[in-house]
A and B are shown apart, each in its own frame.
Chain A
């Protein structure tokens, strides 16, 4: 292979390869991993304690405090946030993060702070997440940040310690998979539906070992919020990361954010960012194509994110799966979900609707949800929770009056955090309860022991909250005065 003077291969490269090459500290020889520089390290309370303790035990400092930022999210309550956290394990994790941040000098946004929130909402809203950088966090949904054309992936606790001490990681290059979505999305079909359809297509393990690059006209037409939703869930296809090439939409989103580059730095950055999209003729290790025109609102029926169908479809018969493992998984899933094969999904009644999580809790998601429920009444007996991804999103929503729409509808308007995305804080489903959720994982017990999760978009979540059964906005009777 021919290389340029800088050691960079002289051939068409993908977005992922370019970002990788530009972060090479040491090229691994003889099958050894490359040493990759990390531009941004996001920290939260669950996966950091032992990393800090490891540094302490070895007497090592945290190398780059100016590339590190911490927030509290997984364990934080979303009500009465001024009271001490009741659960002992949760409180210990939060207190430990606070002590560690203080001792090591890490910037921390604690509960009650304007910038506190889900770690993957905080990075982009501060303008820290930008194209062409490497981002890591001890959390699998770090893939979210790939929406900006960053290389972003989750790491384990020993890697967290490694990044703290060295600002690098030894890594083997990932394979690349192009997922091209061409065409125009029908009204009511969102980024969430696209990614659920992709995962159903390639399977919950289909992305294993790959960095996915989402491309095509349907992807280019998405907002940054939508792109974040897509990349967020690339991990649910088993991928290491998801990426989308930066473009004018990306630049416009980053510009003016608190930490966005300014002046000459901004010009330099944009000039570089424009070089990042995959070159004509770049070779991917795998390619997948989807027709955007065919997509419909999507919903999961099972207990992994790959077990999904169009909302207008029926619960599949396990016997229809040819692969014996898939068939067995479907049987188990239907039993857990208490669903009978052949049931139209629109007949499935829910007990709860959860609007939140790092997949769908940004301002645009809240607006979408509000646009459907405005002027309508909540289905009786359905519990509806709306949880902003960050304190800043909460403030923004209140400034727009969205909170009024939520509370008038009968939804609970909460403080920011991971909330009912996972059963680590007080927001949980009771055993047997069924929930339409805008989060990213429908695993058994994920939202609380025995809870049953259907993954949906904010629009479907909203319509479901109105009807009490899984529904899309097009199923709702027209309002006399239609909302936004």
Chain B
């Protein structure tokens, strides 16, 4: 997982609230056997509308999503995070996230910043006034800057640390690699092996 310190990219306004994971990625895409390549599935039904924000030329290549409250509710599918990530999003800002979605996001390197409703309105106003304007998200400082608007966002210390260090769950465990290797060195010979010992 890539380390996240600061990121600058186009911010897209998703002016809806209670965007659930079925809207982020419809169930039919869950049949796939991969963990990547879900970019086509993101907001699949909304994207059929040419006027949908992510279809507008100004927002092509957007990497920061600024959404209404209660983002990521509904089914706990991890695919919702994969789809956002594969589409190119590095950050989602919203006044409220569903807990499971937020947990999944932190494990996959997607920053979820909680902002106030007032700041949400201010950002929406700024980015719709100048579509395609770039925003800078500073995870260290927990700030988002667009034009001369700078707002603070919330993210818990532990998730922030993981994202700054680029540690997914596996990366976290592998910080104990030496301990795993020591354990393996003292494992008894009788324990099962599926292959002849190499």
Contact = CB atoms under 8 A, between A and B. Distances in A.
Do A and B actually bind?
Answer: yes
Interface of A: 25-26, 35, 37, 39-40, 49-51, 53-54, 57-58, 60, 65-69, 89, 92-93, 96, 107, 127-130, 133, 158, 161-162, 165-168, 170, 259, 261, 265-266, 268-269, 272
A53 B34 contact: yes
A67 to B, nearest CB: 6
Contacts of B78: 158
Given A40-B192, A53-B34, A60 B170 contact: yes
Chain B, interface size category, equals 20 to 34
B170 A161 contact: yes
Interface in B1-59: 1, 31, 33-36
A154 B178 CA distance: 27
Chain A interface SS verdict (over half) = helix
B118 interface: no
A168 B195 CA distance: 19
A40 B192 CA distance: 7
A272 B174 CA distance: 30
A162 B33 CA distance: 17
14 contacts: A50-B35, A57-B36, A66-B193, A66-B198, A69-B194, A130-B190, A158-B107, A161-B170, A170-B172, A259-B192, A259-B194, A265-B189, A265-B190, A269-B188
B147 to A, nearest CB: 35
A269 B35 contact: no
A50 B189 contact: no
Contact of B173 (A53, A54, A66, A170): A170
Contacts of A167: 180, 184
A50 B179 contact: no
A170 B191 CA distance: 21
A130 B36 CA distance: 37
Given A50-B35, A53-B33, A170-B173, A67 B190 contact: no
B182 to A, nearest CB: 8
A268 B188 contact: yes
Contacts of A107: 194-195
A53 B195 CA distance: 23
Interface in B163-187: 168-170, 172-174, 176, 179-180, 183-184, 187
A396 B192 CA distance: 24
B194 A68 contact: yes
A337 to B, nearest CB: 27
A58 B1 contact: yes
